[in-house]
């Protein structure tokens, strides 16, 4: 049956345009989960880039993320713990057992900063603090809102992301990543969303390289939303 109200709504939105506020999760404060590798095909991942491929060699990573711009990743390689912390523009890699503590200032390298976008979400701090969001269209096939995310002009980084956002659940269900030269690097399909504390978030991501071949699949388990993560978890001192 033809959904005339929905069609009329989509037509009106397409004519009027959408705004950045239509794609963010305004109530999201923090999220934590374990990212488990379901499949990683190194030959196909290598066509994206080497660092991206290496991330699939770690079978499970604990992820903690908090607004604004705080991310902590914890993983184990054998019996060795590896930590990654991003707080604002400061990134720290540490391997306590080996007494390794590498610190980087990413204030001029926005493309190296992870964000909630990697997990299929857009937050208020990301729009205006990291990206400019430009409405492109309403996707006819899915009804999703299509936006281009480009880094703020103060940075000399022309890489960008094109995202498709579910306008009711407000999660990114598709993302295309383009390099500074405009080359398509990878396409991410964020799937199987669930609702926790009024926030919808995907629980699975499938990555395809520029040739359209599946390069990797991850699933997210043990999800928690707005649990009140302490700022101390993201300390880079």
In this structure, is residue 169 part of a structural domain? yes
Q: What was the pLDDT predicted at 128?
A: 87
Q: Give domain status of residue 12, yes or no.
A: no
CATH of the domain at 73: 2.50.20.10
50 in any annotated domain: yes
Residue 51 forms part of a structural domain: yes
- Residue 113 within a domain: yes
Contact assessment for residue 26 and residue 196, using Cβ atoms and an 8 Å cutoff: no
How confident is the model at residue 15, as a pLDDT? 46
pLDDT at 2: 45
Rounded CA-CA distance 68/24 in Å is 13
Structural domain harbouring 61 = 27-225
Q: Residue 97: what pLDDT?
A: 86
Q: Up-side HSE of residue 114: CA atoms within 13 Å toward CB?
A: 18
Please say whether the beta carbons of 31 and 65 come within 8 A: yes
Low-confidence stretches of the chain (pLDDT beneath 70): 1-16
Is 32 within 8 Å of 65 (Cβ atoms)? yes
1 in any annotated domain:
no
Q: For residue 16, what pLDDT is reported? A: 56
Tell me how many domains the chain contains: 1
Q: Specify if 117 maps to a domain.
A: yes
Which one-letter DSSP state was computed for residue 52? H
């Amino acid at each position: 049956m033809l959904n005339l109200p929905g069609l009329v709504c989509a037509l009106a939105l397409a004519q009027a345009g959408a705004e950045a506020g239509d794609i963010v999760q305004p109530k999201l404060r923090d999220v934590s989960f374990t990212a488990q590798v379901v499949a990683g095909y190194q030959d196909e991942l290598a066509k994206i880039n080497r660092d991206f491929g290496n991330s699939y060699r770690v079978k499970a990573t604990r992820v903690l993320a908090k607004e604004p711009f705080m991310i902590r990743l914890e993983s184990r390689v054998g019996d060795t713990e590896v930590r990654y912390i991003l707080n604002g523009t400061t990134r720290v890699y540490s391997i306590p057992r080996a007494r390794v503590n590498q610190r980087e200032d990413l204030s001029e390298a926005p493309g190296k900063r992870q964000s909630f976008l990697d997990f299929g979400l857009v937050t208020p701090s990301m729009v205006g603090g990291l990206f400019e969001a430009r409405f492109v269209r309403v996707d006819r096939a899915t009804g999703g809102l299509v936006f281009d995310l480009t880094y703020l002009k103060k940075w000399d980084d022309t890489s960008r992301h094109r995202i498709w956002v579910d306008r009711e659940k407000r999660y990114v269900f598709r993302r295309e990543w383009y390099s500074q030269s405009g080359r398509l690097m990878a396409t991410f399909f964020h799937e199987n969303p669930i609702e926790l504390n009024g926030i919808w978030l995907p629980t699975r991501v499938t990555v395809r390289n520029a040739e359209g071949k599946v390069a990797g699949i991850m699933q997210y388990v043990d999800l928690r939303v707005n649990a009140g993560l302490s700022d101390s978890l993201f300390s880079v001192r």
